[in-house]
């Protein structure tokens, strides 16, 4: 909620409580009590715990958009033996750094010349030798986790607040191979 929305809710809630109490004094009954209850409900919404922004997607495929300047640049995809904790940092508005630093990641590689995840075959032959890679928009990245399972990510959009964008944000599609194999066809 924005600050002005909070102020409106708070003001209307306090008016409802005051009106309900005044009405109860002059004309006792059930209806004035409802005004007080409604006002209290409005006030409780101001401090009631809300769900925090999630930096995880448990599904085996999907599309993710998140601000990589938050949560230490981490976003988790998958679950259990198919878990991949991605780690990102700023490079530019057309490229981004990805790291194999999280404990769930064994290695990572860029799949050169691959335009779509479904075109990946035998990814075990890719160059998984570096700690980090710097994919461009449109690149496909392959992650291998500590259980030997593979996930493929396609970077579709990168935003950089130090350039022409308002926020730091990445959008990527991903597929986790549930069979554990190295072929995504």
Convert the pLDDT of each residue in 14-48 to its tens digit: 898 999 899 988 888 888 888 889 888 888 877 76
The answer to whether the CB of 62 falls within 8 A of the CB of 95 is no
Q: What is the dihedral of CA 64, 66, 71, 77, to 10 degrees?
A: 0
Residue with tokens 């409604």: 38
Beta carbons within 10 angstroms of residue 98's beta carbon: 26
CA angle 19, 45, 38 (to 5 degrees): 30
> What pLDDT, on a 0 to 100 scale, did the predictor assign at position 131?
97
> What pLDDT, on a 0 to 100 scale, did the predictor assign at position 112?
95
| Cα separation values, 81 from 66, 101, 175, Å | 23, 17, 14
| Cα separation values, 141 from 38, 93, 171, Å | 52, 18, 13
> What pLDDT, on a 0 to 100 scale, did the predictor assign at position 82?
95
The answer to whether the CB of 74 falls within 8 A of the CB of 85 is yes
The tokens for 25 are: 């004094």
The answer to whether the CB of 63 falls within 8 A of the CB of 34 is no
Q: For residue range 128-184, what is the model confidence (pLDDT) as tens digits?
A: 999 999 999 999 999 999 999 999 999 999 999 999 889 999 999 999 998 878 888
Domain boundaries, the chain: 3-47, 56-176
Pairing of the two strands 74-77 and 56-57? parallel
What is the pLDDT confidence band of residue 2, given thresholds at 50, 70 and 90? low
Query: Phi-psi region for residue 172, left (φ > 0), alpha (ψ -120 to 50) or beta?
Result: beta
Separate counts of helices (H) and strands (E) for the chain: 2, 10
Residue 6 has pLDDT above 80, yes or no: no
Instruction: Indicate the DSSP class of residue 136.
Output: B
User: For the whole model, what pTM was predicted?
Assistant: 0.71
Burial category of 10 from C-beta neighbours within 10 Å (exposed 0-12, middle 13-18, buried 19 and up): middle
Q: For residue range 40-66, what is the model confidence (pLDDT) as tens digits?
A: 888 887 776 655 567 888 899 999 999
What is the pLDDT confidence band of residue 67, given thresholds at 50, 70 and 90? very high
């Amino acid at each position: 909620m924005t600050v002005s929305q909070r102020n409106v809710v708070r003001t209307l809630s306090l008016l409802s409580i005051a009106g309900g109490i005044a009405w109860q004094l002059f004309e006792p009954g059930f209806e004035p009590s409802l005004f007080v209850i409604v006002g209290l409900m409005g006030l409780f919404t101001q401090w009631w715990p809300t769900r925090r922004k999630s930096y995880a997607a448990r599904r085996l495929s999907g599309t993710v958009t998140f601000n990589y300047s938050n949560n230490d640049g981490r976003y988790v995809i998958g679950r259990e033996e198919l878990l991949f904790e991605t780690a990102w940092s700023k490079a530019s508005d057309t490229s981004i750094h990805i790291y194999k630093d999280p404990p769930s990641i064994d290695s990572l590689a860029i799949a050169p010349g691959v335009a779509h995840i479904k075109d990946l075959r035998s990814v075990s032959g890719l160059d998984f030798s570096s700690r980090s890679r710097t994919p461009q928009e449109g690149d496909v990245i392959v992650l291998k986790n500590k259980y030997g399972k593979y996930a493929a990510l396609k970077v579709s959009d990168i935003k950089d607040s130090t350039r022409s964008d308002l926020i730091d944000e990445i959008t990527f599609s991903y597929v986790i191979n549930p069979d554990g194999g190295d072929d995504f066809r």
